[in-house]
Structure 1
Amino acid sequence: MSTEVGSPVAGLTTALSDVPDPVFSQAMVGPGLAVKPTGGAGDVVAPVAGEVVTLHPHAFVIAASAGGAVLVHLGIDTVKLKGEGFTLHVEKGDAVEAGQKIITWNPTEVESQGYASICPVVALEAPAESLSDLREDTQVLAGDLLFNLDA
């Protein structure tokens, strides 16, 4: 069974290897893509339908209804912002639909504080070959397909 994984933000897709953090660039937590956000303040949406199993202001994990789990990380080292500039719209344990608003943030503000705003979207602990149709170097809107995950 395959799960379509959508982009949590609008921006330009890029390889995980371009993320300035070895945990993501070396795919230590799993394969995926990253999105370089375009524009200022905006909503971050669920990449898949499922249950919110981890929720922080700067990152969240959704266990997909069809299997697998997807991590979205908003920027790099943004945990150091201690939630400032991030507004949560769901709670841990909530069932969400793909495209549902999860967090509101401002990538421009994150960058102005010296952090990268790039957003890794990772299929947690999945084998690289379980991903297909990766859309690298493509301009996407929030909700547009990033890749398929075969659970």
Structure 2
Amino acid sequence: MPTTVHAPLAGVVRALAEVPDPVFAAAMVGPGLAIDPTGAGRVTATAPVSGVVSALHPHAFVVVTAEGRGVLVHLGIDTVQLRGAGFTVHARRHQEIRQGEAVVTWRPGEVAAGGRSAWCPVVALDAAAVTELVAPSSDVAAGAPLLLWA
């Protein structure tokens, strides 16, 4: 059964190969897209799929569907170096969550002002392939279908 992965936040879609991080750019953890967030103020990243929060850090999280498909959302690049500063976590590890529910609020503008990329990779972990439902350079609304994982 296919899994639809929804955009965790609004912004401009970017090809994963363009992400300024070699691991994401080479799709080493899986295929996907990135989102350059709209707005510099507070932005809340939501669950891209319904499932269980299997990993949770202030800068990144994974939600695993009932079918065992994990989707990684990484808020910015090299944001682990911020040690949680500027991020507010709304979920907890092992929590059941529905697509669209709040997971982390952050300020992409502050990340960018600090010299880091605010781009957010959205990755289908260990997937062979996904179908992009939104073309790179297009705008996407939070909660809109982004990827189809067949």
Q: Pairwise CA RMSD of aligned residues?
A: 0.9
Contact 2:11–2:37 (8 Å) recurs in 1 = yes
Q: Scaled by the length of structure 1, what TM-score is found?
A: 0.95
1:61 and 2:37 aligned? no
AA partner of residue 73 (structure 1):
H
SS in 1 for 2:3: strand
AA partner of residue 93 (structure 2):
K
Following superposition, the deviation at residue 41 of structure 1 comes to 1.1
Contact 1:52–1:95 (8 Å) recurs in 2 = yes
- Give the distance between the partners of 1:110 and 1:65, measured in 2 at CA: 33
Deviations 1:81-120 (A, max 9, x none): 0000000001000000000000000100111111100000
List gaps (5 residues or longer) in structure 1.
none
AA partner of residue 60 (structure 1):
F
- Give the distance between the partners of 1:84 and 1:101, measured in 2 at CA: 18
Structure 2 counterparts to residues 75-94 of structure 1, below 5 A: 75-94=76-95
SS in 2 for 1:61: strand
Following superposition, the deviation at residue 66 of structure 1 comes to 3.5
Following superposition, the deviation at residue 133 of structure 1 comes to 4.0
Once superposed, which parts of structure 1, at least 4 consecutive aligned residues long, lie more than 3 Å away?
none
AA partner of residue 52 (structure 2):
E
Following superposition, the deviation at residue 47 of structure 1 comes to 0.2
SS in 2 for 1:54: strand
Cα distance change on mapping 1:113 and 1:30 into 2, 3 Å? same
Identity %, equivalent residues:
51
